[in-house]
Amino acid sequence: SRVIFSGIQPTGTPHLGNFLGALQNWVRLQEDSQPEDVLIYSIVGWHSLTLPQNPHALAVARREMLAALLAIGLDPKRVIIFHQDDNPHHTDLSWVFNCITPVGKLRRMTTWKARLATSRNAKDESEVDESMLNTGLFTYPVLQAADILLYKATHVPVGEDQKQHIELARDIGDNFNRTFRDLFPLPAYIATPTRRVLSLKDPTSKMSKSSPDISSRILLTDSEKEIRTKIRSAVTDSITGVTYDPATRPGTSNLLSILGACTNEEPAVVAKRFESKGHGDLKADVADAVVALLERPRTEFERLRGEEAYITRIAKEGVEKAMVRSGATMREVRHSVGLR
């Protein structure tokens, strides 16, 4: 039997990248799961504090993320959905892991290196300055390892941007097992068919909740009109015709891979259909496909976000189920390290 764990930060409305790169797969795993499998999906509030958040906006986004997870089709009778910050075991285990994780390992995380680079616009790693960045941002992957291992997860479906963090979680679990006792199975990364959805405005970076440019991402809540406008204004290139070539044509290739994700085809195969057509035709088809894909989640989300009492009840039931499992692990951990 499998234990599947994954998380999403309540940092804003989920976007097409979250949906194609992660959330859609969460639903697929629910549909394909066996009765003995355990699926645990967490809204990771503690992680969102690693960047400055407006407290009021965070409180709204936190509740709405739960509504969004239900809207995409996750069923709280079949999967455990809960707020990480409702369960204190996450920070408990993360402290234990901090104490067995070398600083050098965290310095090698590409997410950390990217933060450093943008923090100073540094030309190379040697001139970056860590003193301005907070410790939470640095130990973020340790908390993520705790999220995963707390439930003895065997499989972790996340986007490609998180792959290195899963490798770190394996490392930390292995380190614990060898230092104390064999407690944690080492979790495997589950790749999603769509690896990375890129920003519509800067196709060299990923589509992201935290980009200030709202037209760079398509939200789960966008109307048909908004979706069409954003896709029409997506940055492509000035090369005639349509070909799939991520290295030299990232914008065009991103649109092809979005369309391929909607139609279940390889982007290169999609490109063949547009051989004798232009960017306008491609964008029109991408817009149609995305509108159709997000139609149901959007309507459901609009309905559910107003159901406050229901959302609160689901969160409470979810964390109770989560804590039965995490509590058992924490008793073993405490016993192993001598803090029984």
Return residues touching ligand ATP (CB under 6 A).
8-9, 11, 17-18, 21-22, 158-159, 161-162, 196-197, 206-210
Q: How far is the CB of 258 from ligand ATP (least distance, A)?
A: 10
Question: Which residue has the CB atom at the shortest distance from ligand ATP?
Answer: 21
Identify which of residues 43 and 96 has a Cβ nearer to ligand ATP in the complex: 43
Identify which of residues 9 and 221 has a Cβ nearer to ligand ATP in the complex: 9
Identify which of residues 142 and 330 has a Cβ nearer to ligand ATP in the complex: 142
Q: How far is the CB of 192 from ligand ATP (least distance, A)?
A: 7
How far apart are alpha carbons 192 and 185 in whole angstroms?
Answer: 21
Report the C-alpha dihedral over residues 283, 285, 289, 295, rounded to 10 degrees. Answer: 80
H or E, element range at 6: strand 3-8
Burial of 24 (0-12, 13-18, 19+ CB in 10 A): buried
Q: How far is the CB of 327 from ligand ATP (least distance, A)?
A: 25
Q: How far is the CB of 123 from ligand ATP (least distance, A)?
A: 24
**Nearest-CA neighbor of 134 among 115, 161, 110, 121?**
115
**Nearest-CA neighbor of 205 among 216, 189, 194?**
216
Q: How far is the CB of 62 from ligand ATP (least distance, A)?
A: 12
Burial of 306 (0-12, 13-18, 19+ CB in 10 A): exposed
Identify which of residues 256 and 333 has a Cβ nearer to ligand ATP in the complex: 256
Q: How far is the CB of 296 from ligand ATP (least distance, A)?
A: 19
Query: Cβ of 119: how many Cβ atoms within 10 Å?
Result: 15
Identify which of residues 22 and 289 has a Cβ nearer to ligand ATP in the complex: 22
How far apart are alpha carbons 325 and 1 in whole angstroms?
Answer: 15
Identify which of residues 38 and 198 has a Cβ nearer to ligand ATP in the complex: 198
